[in-house]
Structures are given as C-alpha cells and as structure tokens.
Amino acid sequence: MEAQAKPMNRDTPQRIPPNLDELILVTRSGEETQVLGRAIGEAVQESLVIALQGDLGAGKTTLTQGIAAGLGVSHRVTSPTFTLVSEYPGRDGARLLHVDSYRLGDSSQAAQREASTFGMEEILEQAEAPALGEPPAITVVVIEWAERLAELLPPDHLAIHLEHLPDEPDSRRLRLVAHGPRSRALLSRVAQAWTPQPAEPL
C-alpha cells in the first residue's frame, strides 16, 4: 500500500514520502486556502485535471484562485457564470481551464450528457495530451462540482474534497487524493512545499 500522510498540521513532522496518495489538511481562512492553492499551482510541472468537490461555499473557487496565482495567471479568477469553462493564460505558455459544472443537468447523468455536448471530453483531453510547442505547454483543468462529471474524468487526476468544519465558519478540511502517477508526484511536491499559515494573527 502507498504511504499516506494524514492529517497534517503544524505539529506534524515534515517527513513526506516521495509518492503520496492522500493528504488531509485544515485551513483556517480563505487566504490560507489560497496559499495552499498557490502551492499547488507552483508545484505543477505537467498537464493535469484537478477535480474539486464540496458544498456551496466550501471554497472551490477560492482554492482555484490560488492555483491560478501559482500558475502565473494575472487575471482575477471568478466562477464561469454563463460559460461552462473560462480560460486563463499563465506562466511559460501554461493555461488554466476553469470549469464549473454547477449549472449542468440535475442528475449526474444529465450533467455528463450536457457536458459532452459542450465538448467536455475535448477540454479534458487537453490536460492529457501535451500542447504543441517547445517545451510543451502545460494545461491544467480545474473542475468545480467534479462529482457531477465523475465518469468523464481521466484516470489520473487530483481530487480535492473540501468541507466545512462544524462550529468553525472560517475553517475547511481539504482531502487531496491522487489517482495516478502524475497527480501523485504533484501531491508529493505540494506536501513538501506547503507550510500551514498561523491560525491566529500574531
């Protein structure tokens, strides 16, 4: 079985195994979730799908804003309202494709059907086949409400589950799960790079 590290907080020794399948973290503010997102974006070295799951207000867009910053995106990232996907240019030709499946069909079958008519398979393929260029550019596809598109996700993707903590309005528990070699390598780099922020102002 692969090594796991959970949960991680400031008291956890920083001995991170090289191939990590799962990482559980708690953030104490939206800013801290953005810092984590930035660490993820900075750790990206190859194209990948990042599948975000969590209720309304769990912090999916907040995390995506951090990922965007770490990918060198200078535009402000908001949820795509009228389009299914927004595209942002980042560092060294990298692109962020931000998908929000919230408004797709009522059931996940209907959502997947609707997503297919909008070319979701082609969008996801862009994170699998390297874009042409020298060196090949990176495409990161971040999907909010990814559980609705579960059957369309490529085998290798990084799933991130976000949830509120009871009685702590500004805390979130994030469970990052790697589903293949690329996402596993990314997760290990994130675990090495991310330093939790102080929970309280000093």
Binding stretches for ligand ATP (CB under 6 A): 27-30, 32-33, 54, 56-62, 79, 144, 170-172
Contacting residue, 33, 61, 86, 108, with Mg ion by CB under 5 A: 61
User: Are the C-beta atoms of 128 and 141 separated by less than 8 Å?
Assistant: no
Is 60 an interacting residue with respect to Mg ion (CB under 5 A)? yes
- State the minimum distance, in angstroms, from the CB of residue 78 to Mg ion: 9
End-to-end C-alpha distance for the chain, whole angstroms: 40
For ligand ATP, the closer CB: 69 or 185: 69
Residue 64 CB, nearest approach to ligand ATP (Å): 7
Residue 48 contacts residue 30 (beta carbons within 8 Å): no
CA distance 148 to 129: 23
In degrees, rounded to 5, the angle at the alpha carbon of residue 191 between the alpha carbons of residues 185 and 192 is 95
> Binds 29, which of ligand ATP, Mg ion, none (CB < 5 to 8 A, cut-off by type)?
ligand ATP
Pairing assessment for the beta strands 48-53 and 158-165 based on DSSP bridges: parallel
Cβ 147 to ligand ATP shortest distance, Å: 12
Q: SS3 of 88, please? A: strand
Binding mask 145-174 for Mg ion (x = CB under 5 A): ------------------------------
**Helix then strand then coil, % of the chain, to nearest 5:** 30, 25, 45
Contact of residue 59 among Mg ion, ligand ATP, none (CB under 5-8 Å per partner type): ligand ATP
CB of 158 to Mg ion, least distance (A): 17
**Beta carbon nearer to ligand ATP, 133 or 169:** 169
79 binds Mg ion (CB under 5 A): yes
Q: Is 126 in the site for Mg ion (CB under 5 A)?
A: no
Q: Is 168 helix (H, G, I), strand (E, B) or coil?
A: strand
Q: How many separate helices (H) and strands (E) can be counted in the chain?
A: 5, 8
Q: Which residues bind Mg ion (CB under 5 A)?
A: 60-61, 79, 144
